[in-house]
Amino acid sequence: MKFGYFDDQNREYVIQTPQTPFPWINYLGNKDFFGLISNTAGGYNFYKDARLRRLTRFRYNNVPVDDGGRYYYIKDGNTVWNPGYKPCKTELDDYECRHGLGYTRITSAKNGVSASLLAFIPLDYNGEINHLTLKNTSMETKHIQLFSLREWCLWDASDDMLNFQRNFSTGQVEVKDSVIYHKTEYRERRNHYAFFSVNAKIDGFDSQLEDFMGMYNGFDAPQAVLAGQATNSVADGWQPCASHQINVTLLPDEEKSFIFVLGYVEVPVEDKWESPHVINKKPALQMIDQFSTDGQVERAFVTLASYWERLLRLYRVEIDDEKTARMVNIWNPYQCMVTFNMSRSASYFESGVGRGLGFRDSSQDLLGFVHQIPERARERILDIASTQFRDGGCYHQYQPLTKKGNNDIGGGFNDDPLWLIAGTAAYIKETGDFSILNEKTPYDSNPKDTGTLLEHLTASFNHVVENKGPHGLPLIGRADWNDCLNLNCHSTEPGQSFQTYGTADGRVAESVLIAGMFVAIGPELVELYRRKGLDSKAREAREEIEKMRKTVLEHGYDGEWFLRAYDAFGEKIGSKECEEGKIFIESQGYCVMAGIGVEDGRALKALNSVRDILECDHGIVIQQPAYQTYHSNLGECSSYPPGYKENAGIFCHNNPWIMIAETKIGRGDRAFDLYRKICPAYREDISDLHRMEPYVYSQMIAGKDAGRMGEAKNSWLTGTAAWNFVAISQAILGIKPEYDGLRVDPCIPSLWGEYKVTRVFREAIYEIHVTNPDNVQKGVRSVTVDGKPIEGNVLPVLEAGTKHIVEVIMG
């Protein structure tokens, strides 16, 4: 069952009912200022950091789940309705929500009035525009009262929902003309405020939620709206909000539009006040001025569209498979941008207060984003690196506002260091910018203690070399990629954090996944050394990698598949000897991606085991058999009910690792089959089961042991976005950036006859036409560039600004 449809022409997903199986959301904003918006206009805004600089309030633990947002109430006689259906839930005569790239447009109608609400954040603008248009489609003149509503968050979203003894006494606003300014804590140490404006004369306002709502009413029945009259309340403590009342008269056929701006302003300390106790409104008024006419809004909207047009032009496929095309050309890159911006901080499953940016998460997000805006990837790499410790270890997370490592979670996740090498290599391959390696970057955010990025990467590599266990495999620390395989935690008391309890420094528990990563990612560093003329370092590193490869084959293979780990007692995990958790996906993926066992058939066996044991209709589960009971030697993975999350859920993130691994052994049919299974566009038809947005990946789909197999959760912020983009664009369609050019090495379903990829690489345009006359899955017989045959299958770096026709014949 579907709840809408893809409009590929306009690059939108069109939702046809407000009652989707879960709020289906979208993201506004590209750089510093962001908003989350659901298909019923729920959600919130923040500047840079969803925890530390939250502008508007959102209650996650709410009933219903998505209450609170950018609400507009239309009171037409005795009927009160909202363009987005919620919160009044008055039945609408018409409803449609179009989620597009960086904007959402909701249109609806009731009793002869139609409304259109366009929400977006213009480029380089710290404010959200809500362009609301009302039209009278009836034969009579309409007298409507329009009310807006935003709730202010007292900046620190965590404090905002905990510290009421203080919060209820601190709230402050100013109201002037049609603008409501939120200035809580501005009188002391904050040099920033927020505002909510409208480009029309208002007939009243409220800025104290208790007065607007009435003490005992909910969002669906605000007292001021029901009475048809705002109370002109000026917040003084309690819960500050911002609501405008505008009385609108509409003649038959008449249309009126309003521009609401929710903005954020920073003021230099010396300019904070206009007069005693009166905030300096000049910067806000300038922002408001930028969007006071419909024309200004329309121009900014067009600019946003062309921004996306440019980004999406960088990789475009033309293929006889509409679902793949829409994912590759529109939604997958879009989600890659969002995950790059948000990491795992703010979604409808991530509250924005828990985690900042993850070291490993952000490094992997880069893989799918780097071709879009390499400069931002560069900045991110350096930011991440500067939280690294001198010994190569890393803070697991950092706050985007301060860019400092997060002490609550600390470090000791021993896969983290390697991801920095992976991210940096991807950046250099995309851009050819080796200069990033010379950038001086702090250790532990200490500007007095720095090393070049290359030194950081060396520290990453050595961190693995210097932290091996009894079998010569890498020590796992608190966990590796699987945050829930906590082999040194041994927690027995509720409430102990699996990620921070116990020691990070166990000297026995080892990870075969980190070993696979080391063999897969390590060679990137070898290559960087080589190109820097550091030959002896390159040789030493190569020897370490070779040693690890042998160790994996000797101590990390279990007959039919790769082991997962050894626990703190030296016992095998992910082995046929185990009763539960006999086989895990991660080590199969990474070891085969590393090429381990490809020559002697062990890789093939491992992937067949994945197919036979882990795969189901909805994708590949993370391990089997699921843990039926809690095991303190394994940690959080065994804490989840069977079939969910890291306990045998389909954890989508590493499904693409298997897709890529399949392409390593030439099985394009398999790779694409796996691609399809978790691909949201392919799952659109089962939206009633899947429940999450059909245009983006979710972190998890319930596995075969779960009560609700096939149901997804935790949409949007997942490394799945980046990895699937890598899998489809580089491994399957086969266009891979390399240091010296663009490798073309497709691995596709044998039935595919041809496709075309237009790739902008180092500013040259490559139009790559692939044909497959013999119906093979892998192998390139010939390549021509502009009609001339080339040796091998690496397209040379061509002059920026030029366009080239590439013909690739498989066989």
As annotated, the active-site residues are 483
Q: How far is the CB of 380 from ligand GLC (least distance, A)?
A: 16
Tokens of 433: 């910018």
Using the contact rule CB under 6 A, the part of the chain among 51-59, 477-485, 529-537, 674-682 near ligand GLC is 477-485
Q: Exposed e or buried b for every residue in 102-127, given b needs 16+ CB within 10 A?
A: bbbbbbbbbebbbbbbbbbbbeebbb
Query: CB of residue 637 vs ligand GLC: minimum separation in angstroms?
Result: 8
Residue 567 in contact with ligand GLC, rule: CB under 6 A: no
Q: Are 420 and 457 in contact (CB under 8 A)?
A: yes
**Residues in contact with 711: Cβ distance below 8 Å, sequence separation at least 6, in sequence order:** 689, 690, 691, 701, 702
Go through the chain and tell me how many residues it has.
Answer: 811
Give the per-residue contact string, 713-732, with ligand GLC (x = CB under 6 A; - = no). Answer: -----x--------------
Nearer to ligand GLC, 136 or 345 (CB): 345
Per CB under 6 A, the list member of 211, 646, 684, 705 interacting with ligand GLC is: 646
Nearest 10 degrees: Cα torsion 757, 758, 759, 764:
140
Choice from 118, 300, 382, 484 touching ligand GLC (CB under 6 A): 484
Q: Which is nearer to ligand GLC, 342 or 541 (CB)?
A: 342
What is d(CA 480, CA 654) in angstroms, rounded to the nearest whole number? 13
Residue 358 near ligand GLC by CB under 6 A: yes
* Nearest residue to ligand GLC on Cβ basis: 483
**Backbone phi, psi, residue 639, to 5°:** -85, -20
365 forms part of the interface with ligand GLC (CB under 6 A): no
Contacting range for ligand GLC; rule: CB under 6 A; set: 132-140, 331-339, 417-425, 482-490: 482-490
Of residues 261 and 717, the one with the C-beta less far from ligand GLC: 717
- The closest of 142, 126, 125, 124 to 76, measured between CA atoms, is 142
In angstroms, rounded to a whole number, what is the distance separating the alpha carbons of residues 461 and 255?
A: 64
Name the residue nearer to ligand GLC (CB basis): 127 or 502.
502
Closest CB to ligand GLC among residues 264, 359: 359
Residue 360 is a binding residue for ligand GLC (CB under 6 A):
yes
Determine contact, residues 71/167, Cβ cutoff 8 Å: no
> Can the peptide bond before residue 374 be classed as cis, meaning omega within 30 degrees of 0?
no
Extract the tokens encoding 413. 């996740």
Would you say 260 or 498 has its CB closer to ligand GLC? Answer: 498
Q: How far is the CB of 623 from ligand GLC (least distance, A)?
A: 12
Positive or negative torsion for Cα 759, 760, 762, 766: positive
Is 350 a residue that touches ligand GLC (CB under 6 A)? Answer: no
Work out how close the CB of 35 gets to ligand GLC at its nearest, in angstroms, rounded to a whole number.
22
Instruction: Check if the beta carbon of residue 367 is closer than 8 Å to that of residue 722.
Output: yes
Establish if 483 lies at the interface with ligand GLC (CB under 6 A): yes
- DSSP H helices in 245-373: 282-290, 294-312, 322-326, 332-342, 359-369
Contact criterion met (CB below 8 Å) for 429 and 441: no
Backbone angles phi, psi at 464, to 5 degrees: -70, -45
User: What whole-number distance in Å separates Cα of residue 633 and Cα of residue 619?
Assistant: 28
Indicate the residue among 483 and 662 with the shorter CB distance to ligand GLC: 483
What are φ and ψ of residue 206, in 5° steps? Answer: -140, 145
Contacts (CB under 6 A) with ligand GLC, residues 409-448 = none
What is the Cα–Cα distance from 119 to 102, expressed in whole angstroms?
9
Give whole-number Cα distances, 167 to 120, 179, 209, 239, 734, in Å. 30, 23, 14, 8, 55
> What is the nearest approach in angstroms of ligand GLC to the Cβ of residue 87?
31
Interface residue with ligand GLC among 549, 572, 602, 645 (CB under 6 A) is 645
CB nearer to ligand GLC: pick between 120 and 481: 481
Contact code string over 670-709 relative to ligand GLC, x by CB under 6 A = -----------------------------x----------
Closest distance of CB 649 from ligand GLC, Å: 9
Cα angle, residue 764 at apex, residues 364 and 785 outer, rounded to 5°:
110
Q: Is the CB of residue 265 less than 8 Å from the CB of residue 287?
A: yes
- Token reading at 20: 């989707």
Q: Which is nearer to ligand GLC, 128 or 480 (CB)?
A: 480
Closest approach, Cβ 622 to ligand GLC, in A, equals 9
One of 49, 160, 206, 361 touching ligand GLC (CB under 6 A): 361
- If the CB atoms of residues 288 and 484 are measured against ligand GLC, the closer one turns out to be 484
Distance CA 786, CA 23 (A): 49
Q: Is 636 in the site for ligand GLC (CB under 6 A)?
A: yes
List the one residue from 181, 205, 369, 481 that touches ligand GLC (CB under 6 A).
Answer: 481
Q: Provide the minimum distance between the beta carbon of 438 and ligand GLC in the complex, in angstroms, as a whole number.
A: 29
Q: Which of 148, 207, 482, 715 binds ligand GLC (CB under 6 A)?
A: 482
- From 296-304, 318-326, 458-466, 476-484, span contacting ligand GLC (CB under 6 A): 476-484
Q: Between 655-664 and 602-609, two packed helices, what is the crossing angle to 10 degrees?
A: 140
Residue count, binding to ligand GLC (CB under 6 A): 14
Query: Minimal distance in Å, beta carbon 455 to ligand GLC?
Result: 25
Residue 185 phi, psi (nearest 5) = 70, 5
Rounded Cα distance between 590 and 599, Å, is 16
DSSP track, 249-285 = EE-TT-EEEEEEEEEEEE--GGGSEEETTEE--HHHH
Angle (CA) 195 200 205, round 5°: 55
Q: Using the minimum distance from each CB to ligand GLC, give the nearer residue, 28 or 485.
A: 485
Q: Which is nearer to ligand GLC, 92 or 593 (CB)?
A: 593
Helix (H) or strand (E) segment spanning residue 457 = helix 453-465
Strands 741-744 and 754-761 turn out to be unpaired
Binding piece for ligand GLC, criterion CB under 6 A, among 204-212, 329-337, 475-483, 576-584 = 475-483
**Calpha distance 55→57 (Å, rounded):** 7
In the complex, least distance from residue 366 CB atom to ligand GLC, rounded to whole angstroms:
14
Q: Least distance to ligand GLC from the beta carbon of 354, Å?
A: 8
The one segment of 164-172, 480-488, 505-513, 556-564 that binds ligand GLC by CB under 6 A: 480-488
Phi, psi of 588 (to 5 degrees): -65, -45
Measured in degrees and rounded to the nearest 5, phi and psi for residue 761 equal -130, 120
| Minimum gap (Å) between residue 644 Cβ and ligand GLC | 9
**Segment lying near ligand GLC (by CB under 6 A), choices 33-41, 228-236, 317-325, 354-362:** 354-362
Residues near ligand GLC, by CB under 6 A: 344, 358, 360-361, 481-484, 499, 636, 645-646, 699, 718
